[in-house]
A and B are shown apart, each in its own frame.
Chain A
Amino acid sequence: MVGELTHLYQHGDFAERRAVLRALPLLPIGAAALPLVQDALRTNDSRLISGALGPYGAAHLDDHGYRHAVLKCVFTGIPLGDVAGLPARADRELARMLADYARERVAAGRDVPPDIQPLIDAYPEVGAP
């Protein structure tokens, strides 16, 4: 089945690819379709990135992959409320990355997306300026 999913994904347009990604948590495939999630997370297409970070991605990405996926959502303007696995999978290292990102935005005179603040506040020691 994963072979068929991969074929559908690789030959799909963005809507078809998104449909494949959104179907993953409903199928009995374990972690075997993770490469499709990783492919979608390498794109800059917010439609595919948000599709990739549904319940399937949240269940199977390793900690490093999950953190970078959340960061990618922040960079591409995907509201964190739509991201599966939060706040349960948010850890100290993700809070550290988001706090660094907030410092970078402030140094550049730019605004900081408000939805990252609760994740930073959960680890007060990383949030200090």
Chain B
Amino acid sequence: MRIFDPHVHMTSRTTDDYAAMYDAGIRAVVEPAFWLGQPRTSVASFLDYFDSLIGWEPFRASQFGIRHHCTIALNPKEANDPRCAGVLDVLPGYLAKDQVVAVGEVGYDSMTPDEDEAFARQLEMAIDYELPVLVHTPHRDKLAGTLRTLDVVRESGIPPERVVIDHLNELTVEAVRDSGCWMAFSVYPMTKMTEERMVRILLDHGIERMLVNSAADWGRSDPLKTRRTADAMVEAGFSKSEVDTVVWRNPVAFYGQSGRLALDEVDVDELATFEGNSIRRGGA
């Protein structure tokens, strides 16, 4: 089974996770730029983070046979912090990079005017750079936030097939399906979706424009949730081809719209270094 996790924050994960992910069939990931669990205090912190997403992290992934791409954006939560507003001005340089396959995560956290502004400007950038967009939906007031998100996407004029709306659930899936945008679901151990609920949604709504991700990060999460969901699909009677559509062909089709996905097999060179650094920790 080949798997593409379209949303996972590998920066927060260990090399053991990379090894386990490869063993589970994961061959490609997209790491969206998001927040780090506590507020950043300057634009410079973002530059270092973005540089690691297009540099060190893809190198680390390649050492485990996994293709790593990323999405770049000012996330909604930090869009409220005046110290970080300048991030919007440095984004264009990153949106031109080969490793960057979408603008994201953008969207709403608390639905403030600052979030409106950052969201609208970044949708414009996605249109200018002809990139897909990964849109986060809020944890709090999710249904109202999702409906407002769809309004903003519609008003921006970006084609809906270039937009994925993430972190959906039973109550938000239908509005997104009707909008023509892609639908993404984060399968978590304690919160968001479970594998069983995910399979139920796929049975009810079909597999077209559907993405499943682990959204694993520094919180309680599991980077093998894509594989566990694929297994649950098999158990529920989905064919091999249908499972492949959800966990491989759909994310390839969505991010492939960037024209920048490189998915040829990684030739693992254990002696490789990134700017002189390796993951070997001094071992000869």
Contacts and interface: CB of A to CB of B under 8 A. Distances in A.
Contacts of A103: 171
Interface of A: 10, 35, 38-39, 42-45, 64-65, 68, 71-72, 75, 97, 100-101, 103-104, 107-109
A107 B169 contact: yes
Contact of B142 (A35, A44, A72, A104): A104
B140 A75 contact: yes
B169 A104 contact: yes
A39 B110 contact: no
Interface string B76-90: 011011100000000
A97 B139 contact: no
B58 to A, nearest CB: 27
Contact of A42 (B81, B144, B194): B81
A104 B170 CA distance: 8
B117 to A, nearest CB: 15
A72 B140 CA distance: 7
A104 to B, nearest CB: 6
A88 B250 CA distance: 49
Contacts, number: 51
A42 B112 CA distance: 12
B156 to A, nearest CB: 23
Given A68-B110, A104-B171, A42 B143 contact: no
* Interface range, B side: 20 to 34
Contacts of A65: 110
Contacts of A75: 139-140
Contacts of B77: 42
Nearest to B109: A42
B239 interface: no
A108 B143 contact: no
A44 B141 contact: no
B41 interface: yes
Given A42-B77, A68-B110, A100-B142, 14 more contacts: A38-B80, A42-B39, A43-B38, A44-B37, A44-B38, A64-B111, A71-B140, A72-B140, A75-B139, A97-B140, A100-B143, A104-B143, A104-B169, A104-B171
Interface in B176-228: 193-194, 197
Interface in B128-173: 139-144, 169-171
Contacts of B193: 108
Contacts of B197: 108-109
B81 A39 contact: yes
Nearest to A74: B140
A72 B80 CA distance: 16
Contacts of A107: 169-171
Interface centre among B37, B38, B141 (most CB of A within 10 A): B141
A43 B169 CA distance: 24
A75 B110 CA distance: 13
B141 A71 contact: yes
A112 to B, nearest CB: 14
